[in-house]
Amino acid sequence: MVADPHGGRLVDQVWSGARRQEGLRRAEKGLAVSLSAAALADVECLATGVFSPLRGFLTEEDYYRVCNRMRLADGTVWSIPITLPVSRDVREGMELGLRDAASGEIVALMEVKSLFAIDPVWEAERVFGTQDQKHPGVSQLFRASRWRAGGPVYLLRKPRRDNFAEYPAYPAETRTLFQQRGWRTVVGFQTRNPVHRAHEYIQKCALEIVDGLFLHPLIGPTKADDIPAEVRMRSYEAILEAYYPRDRVCLGIFPAAMRYAGPREAVFHALVRKNYGCTHFIVGRDHAGVGDYYGSYDAQDLVRSLPVEELGIQPLFFEHSFYCRRCQGMASLKTCPHTEADRLILSGTKVRTMLRSGVTPPPEFSRPEVIRVLLEPLQIKSEQSVGR
């Protein structure tokens, strides 16, 4: 059996039919706020069970418990504050329309149960461990309104993703899929980067002990210099087709925004994959980190500090892996006896820099099928520049 949802029940607050029409009427009638891309992603995840047991944006009591203790007011483990910035026009007790800023359409209805002001410096220190506004998560926090509305949300319009329509996006879909495949144990892998040799190595190590791998890339808002989701999805398909047993891998999409909260986001990512039905979750080196804000294994240390029975999902911890020239294959500090001079260690950041410079990463780091996909947009851009 796949894992139970966090909190015991999968949230479903997507309205359809006559209920949806009534919700749209009520949302259009009152005050409506425009949602950023990140807030829009949160609304979708809240209503479709991705963020179970949350039924909406955090109330003031839950917010302070999460920031201080990584728990909701009822004691359930939860590590990231999911809040909605609003203007001072919003009042407790009102119904609030939530509008997609890009399209102008009403997408959801919210019951405002709580209205409160936050201190961004205080939150930044507790959630991100820094108030440095060069950190992308801190920067977004400081740019947003300090006023927050909490309460349940009801999704009235799911976003259209024509480029990703073939991939499962919601927990109800993947839980059914895993059961149809007869998978009793499933390991989840979070990524916002292409799958390079190091990722492939730890994924296949995990596949030795479970029935299936859930490759689950985040496709919501990320940093401007991250590789676009459409390109990454093509690279995943390329490597899965060439190097993985397709009957043991499921490729889905994670519609959330990236927060770059390091250790706290690692806990969050594990809980979310539990909602999707995973029984195991890979926590790698510098999970959900950015720059030098977090230590290489801070995320693993935080996840280890939480009782597995409260997480409800088994974390799998991996050392930093690399290609060893003397071993002539992928290895880690646990398996390789050779020196640093024998090891080829590259990060996702270095690979992005190489690609932008027109340098092809070596095959010891990335499969050629992946590199071809990643280079294609750059080649097209170069040809367009020449054509001018």
Examine the residue annotation and report whether 285 is marked as an active-site residue of this protein: no
Q: How confident is the model at residue 380 (pLDDT cuts 50, 70, 90)?
A: very low
Architecture of domain 17-155: Roll (3.10)
pLDDT score of 300 more than 80? yes
Dihedral through CA 333, CA 335, CA 341, CA 345, nearest 10?
-60
pLDDT for the residue numbered 379:
53
Q: Are 14 and 158 in contact (CB under 8 A)?
A: yes
Residue 32 near residue 106 (C-beta atoms within 8 A): yes
Catalytic residue among 55, 192, 232, 259: 192
Q: Which among 195, 176, 175 is positioned nearest to 241, based on CA atoms?
A: 195
Q: Does residue 192 have an active-site annotation?
A: yes
What residues does each domain of the chain span? Answer: 17-155, 164-254+260-383
Q: Is 162 exposed, middle or buried (0-12, 13-18, 19+ CB in 10 A)?
A: exposed
CA angle 65, 70, 74 (to 5 degrees): 55
Chain segment 305-352, per-residue pLDDT in tens: 999 999 999 999 998 899 999 999 999 999 999 999 999 987 767 777
Q: Is the dihedral of CA 159, 57, 70, 142 positive or negative?
A: positive
In percent, the amount of the chain with pLDDT more than 70 equals 97
**Other CB atoms within 10 A of residue 380 CB:** 10
Q: What is the pLDDT of residues 97-133, one digit of tens each?
A: 999 999 999 999 999 999 999 999 999 999 999 999 9
pLDDT at 357: 81
Tell me if 346 sits within 8 A of 365, measured CB to CB. yes
Residue 280: pLDDT band (50, 70, 90) is very high
C-alpha distance across the termini of the chain, in Å: 58
pLDDT at 320: 85
What are the tens digits of pLDDT across the range 19-77?
Answer: 999 999 999 998 999 999 999 999 999 999 999 999 999 999 999 999 999 999 999 99
Per-residue exposure over 359-373, b if at least 16 CB sit within 10 Å of its own CB, e if not:
eebeeebbbeebbeb
CATH of the domain spanning 164-254+260-383: 3.40.50.620
Contact (Cβ atoms closer than 8 angstroms) between residue 149 and residue 84: yes
Q: How many CB atoms lie within 10 A of CB 358?
A: 10
Look at strands 212-217 and 186-191 and give their pairing: parallel
95: pLDDT strictly greater than 70: yes
Catalytic pick among 99, 148, 193, 343: 193
Find the range with the poorest average confidence among 162-166, 271-275, 348-352: 348-352
Average pLDDT, the chain: 93
**pLDDT at residue 377 is higher than 80:** no
pLDDT mean over 369-377: 90
For residue 43, the SS3 value is helix
Q: Is the pLDDT of residue 17 over 50?
A: yes
For residue 37, CA distances in Å to 91, 104, 145, 220, 270 come to 23, 12, 15, 8, 23
Residue 320: exposed, middle, or buried by beta-carbon count in 10 A (0-12, 13-18, 19+)? middle
66-75, 166-175, 229-238, 361-370, range with the lowest pLDDT: 361-370
Type of residue numbered 341? A
Q: Per residue, what are the HEC states of 79-140?
A: CCCCCEECCCCCCCCCEEEEEECCCCCEEEEEECCEEEECCHHHHHHHHHCCCCCCCHHHHH
| Nearby residues of 360 by Cβ (< 8 Å), 6 or more positions away | 354, 371, 375
Q: Tokens for 157?
A: 């319009």
The pLDDT assigned to 378 comes to: 59
pTM: 0.94
d(C-alpha 210, C-alpha 279), whole Å: 9
pLDDT at 247 over 50: yes
pLDDT the model gives residue 224? 83
Is the pLDDT reported for residue 136 higher than 80?
yes
With CA atoms as reference, report the closest residue to 117 among 93, 83, 94, 143.
83
